[in-house]
Amino acid sequence: MRTLLALQQLDTKIAGYRRREKEIPRQKEACNIQRGRLRDELKESEDRVKRLKLEQRECEVDIDQKNAQIGKFESQLLLVKKNEEYKALLHEIDLQRKQISLKEERILGIMMEIDQAQMKFQEDKKRIDGEAARIEEECARIDRELEEAVRGRKALEEERKPLAERVEASLLRKYERIRAVRTPAVVPLNEESCGGCHMTVRAQIVNEIMADKECHACQQCGRLLYYPGNVAEPAECGD
């Protein structure tokens, strides 16, 4: 029973490592989500600068087109003979010039917005670079922690093999079968109660366990029972 308890303690540690191996990747996933959020935030800041520059370029192209149109209208002024046509062309020229003036005002506004957007982009980049560096450090720590968990588990699994071989085969099978359903599989006898489910154990079985004559399982939960006084170190118990 002492060997089986030692095996159970080892299995508890191995199970702890396995839990860590499942939990740690979720921490890495959270880091990846943060990375994506920072990339999106920086891209949005950069895209605003690009959108403003594109709008500025579109305004400049529109001004060039309107100036070209004014040139055509002015050429037509030399050819028309009717006063109504002459006035209509002047009206169109005036309209185009007003639209050019509006575009030029918009360009001035855009240039100010570009300056502000570029300044914000640089500030965002500096802040995000700092946050990204912190996340990379956290990811590296998580990777190291995962490596340590895997290494620790494998070392204990190697340690487990010779220990399991020292447990009587039928008892080991019972232990493995119980452990697959509930843990701990081996629990102490607390006076006349099971240390796992806390149900009362029959007096005859209690006596046999205390006499260390036979290995018994709790009739309620199926866990293997032992008397703490018969072993050097009592095992931890739980539901």
Which of 62, 163, 213 has its CA nearest to residue 226?
Answer: 213
**pLDDT tens-digit readout, 97-112:** 999 999 999 999 999 9
Which letter does DSSP use for residue 185 in this model?
S
Q: Is the pLDDT of residue 233 over 60?
A: no
Instruction: Provide the domain count of the chain.
Output: 2
Q: State phi, psi for 227 to the nearest 5 degrees.
A: -95, 120
The residues near 138 (Cβ < 8 Å, ≥ 6 apart) are 31
87 and 13 assigned to the same domain: yes
User: Which residue is it, tokens 């575009």?
Assistant: 103
**pLDDT tens-digit readout, 56-83:** 999 999 999 999 999 999 999 998 889 9
Asked, for residue 181, whether it belongs to a domain, the answer is yes
91's torsion region: left (phi>0), alpha (psi -120 to 50) or beta?
alpha
Asked, for residue 237, whether it belongs to a domain, the answer is no
25 and 133 assigned to the same domain: yes
Q: Is the pLDDT of residue 230 over 90?
A: no
Averaged pLDDT for residues 206-215: 85
> What was the pLDDT predicted at 43?
96
Which pLDDT band holds residue 9 (cuts at 50, 70, 90)?
very high
Asked, for residue 238, whether it belongs to a domain, the answer is no
Q: Which of 165, 194, 214 is the last residue of a domain?
A: 165
Spatial contact of 201 and 188, defined as CB atoms under 8 Å apart: no
Asked, for residue 239, whether it belongs to a domain, the answer is no
Averaged pLDDT for residues 227-232: 81
How many angstroms separate the CA atoms of 171 and 3, rounded?
11
Which pLDDT band holds residue 11 (cuts at 50, 70, 90)?
very high
Q: Angle 2-77/83-165 helices, nearest 10 degrees? A: 170
> What was the pLDDT predicted at 237?
35
**pLDDT tens-digit readout, 129-150:** 999 999 999 999 999 999 999 9
